[in-house]
Amino acid sequence: MAESGQTSQARYGGVMDEFEAELRARKFVQEIGVSTLPVDLGLYVARVGAKVLLEDLEPDEAGYTMTTPKGPIITLNAQDRAARRRFTQCHEIAHVVLGLPSQHGHAPEWSYARRPPAEICCDVFAAEVLLPYRLFLARAASLPLTFATVHQLASDCFASREAVASRLVATNRLPCAYVLGENGHVRHAIRSSALRAVNGYIPTGTLLPPGSAAHTLRSTREGDGTLTSAGDVWFDGWRDVELEESSIFLPEYDQTLTLLHCTDQDELEYLPNHAGRSEEPEDPDDELLAPLDGHPTFGSRRRKR
């Protein structure tokens, strides 16, 4: 889960946080009996009694939901990629199920920054129903942690690269992380349970570390690259740990997508007790349900109801 820990007001004045959104999503999937990937979203639409329409919307508007006496009407941007529309559809279903209002217009459609709490909760719900944890784990457990794997799973599961990358890390048994960088800073990081167990912390808001593949790609404006380096590039006290880092740079958004993993788990036995690039305490919402999916880095497109 992204390290945010934000809460929002749900229907009837109750407090909704990411943990509760995840619980509700898993219950929703279980009640419907979803058993295959890619998920048939028609099952979700039928469950909430909605109708789905495609229209040409503005480039920064992914979709919206209208409440009518006959049920919700979900409108999706016909100009978006099919995988993006699937996530938007799940996000809008989340608004219906969780009873959360839309809070759109806070940031450019491609930016993860300044996401309102209600929108983050709906993203969390959407991630789980689009890539249900148990089904995804069964598909991905034996695959290597590479962007080639991410691209293959994105195709198989009919989901975006960013959503699959975060989910792949969160369900992985290895000490690993998926990091989204934006404007040269860490925007959010998803860490596996194994990385959390050795206190490998990547604080939000810090600069991409010099010497990392992400920093180098952004500096040289190159598209992608892989680098093996000492672990202390990303984590204090990890000099004797070898990290493999694969990164992709998206110049149109000034974003970097990074997969990190330790090449030799035995090296982790000799780490200090409090490894990390910051003394800042960890956010408990980084883990949420155990084991939990990763938070998707779909942009903060405007959504209205």
150/194 same-domain check: yes
Give the highest mean pLDDT range of 50-59, 191-200, 272-281. 50-59
| Whether residue 21 is found in the same domain as residue 149 | no
In a domain, 47, yes or no: yes
The residue segments making up the domain with residue 280 are 142-286
Question: Phi and psi (nearest 5°) for 112?
Answer: -85, -15
Pairing of β 302-304 and β 185-191: unpaired
Pairing of strands 185-191, 224-230: unpaired
Task: Note whether residue 99 is domain-resident.
Answer: yes
The whole model's pTM is what? 0.78
Q: Is residue 297 in a domain?
A: no
Pair (202, 116) in one structural domain? no
3-class SS of residue 49: coil
136 part of a folded domain: no
Point out the domain boundary residue: 130, 150, 166.
Answer: 130
Provide the mean pLDDT of the chain. Answer: 84
* Position 135 in a domain: no
User: Would residue 259 count as lying in a domain?
Assistant: yes
44, two tokens: 């979700």
CATH number where 16 lies: 1.10.10.2910
Q: How far apart (Å, rounded) are the C-alpha atoms in residues 85 and 144?
A: 28
Radius of gyration of the chain (CA): 19
Say what the pLDDT of residue 113 is. Answer: 58
The CATH number of whichever domain residue 250 belongs to comes to 3.30.450
What is the rounded average pLDDT of the residues 135-151?
94
Q: Which pLDDT band holds residue 102 (cuts at 50, 70, 90)?
A: confident
Q: Is residue 206 part of a domain?
A: yes
Q: How many CA atoms lie within 13 A of 119 on its CB side?
A: 27
What tokens were used for 27?
A: 């219950």
Please say whether the beta carbons of 159 and 297 come within 8 A.
no
The more confident residue out of 3 and 249 is: 249
**Same domain assignment for residues 168 and 268:** yes
Residue 150 and residue 255 in one domain:
yes
Q: Are residues 80 and 122 in the same domain?
A: yes
Q: Mean pLDDT, to the nearest integer, of 263-280?
A: 62
pLDDT, average across residues 265-281: 59
Query: Strand 176-182 relative to strand 255-262: parallel, antiparallel, unpaired?
Result: antiparallel
Strands (E), 103-184: 176-182
Mean pLDDT for the stretch of residues 127-146: 94
Torsion sign (Cα): 106, 111, 114, 119: positive
pLDDT of residue 252 exceeding 80: yes
Residues 249 and 116 in one domain: no
The phi, psi pair for 140, rounded to 5°, reads: -105, -10
Confidence of residue 132 (pLDDT cuts 50, 70, 90): very high
Instruction: Output the CA torsion 280→284→287→293 (10° steps).
Output: -100
Query: Are 60 and 120 contained in the same domain?
Result: yes
Beta-carbon-side half-sphere exposure of residue 37 (alpha carbons within 13 Å): 21
Q: Indicate the length of the chain as a whole number.
A: 305
The pLDDT of residue 59 is 86
For residue 167, what are the contacts with CB-CB under 8 A and spacing of at least 6?
Answer: 127, 131, 136, 140, 293, 294, 296
35: pLDDT strictly greater than 80? yes
Q: Return the pLDDT at 188.
A: 85
* Torsion region of 22: left, alpha or beta (phi above 0 gives left; psi -120 to 50 gives alpha): alpha
Last residue in a domain, options 70, 100, 130: 130
Closest by CA position to 89, among listed 120, 119, 53? 53
What's the rounded mean pLDDT across residues 252-275?
80
Residues 49 and 148 in one domain: no
The pLDDT of residue 264: 82
At 117, the pLDDT band (50, 70, 90 cuts) reads: confident
Main-chain dihedrals φ then ψ at residue 194, nearest 5 degrees: -65, -35
The two counts, helices (H) then strands (E), for the chain are: 9, 11
Together in a domain, 153 and 209: yes
Quote the number of domains for the chain.
2
The answer to whether position 295 is within a domain reads: no
pLDDT score for 98: 96
Please indicate, yes or no, whether residues 18 and 67 belong to a single structural domain of this protein.
yes
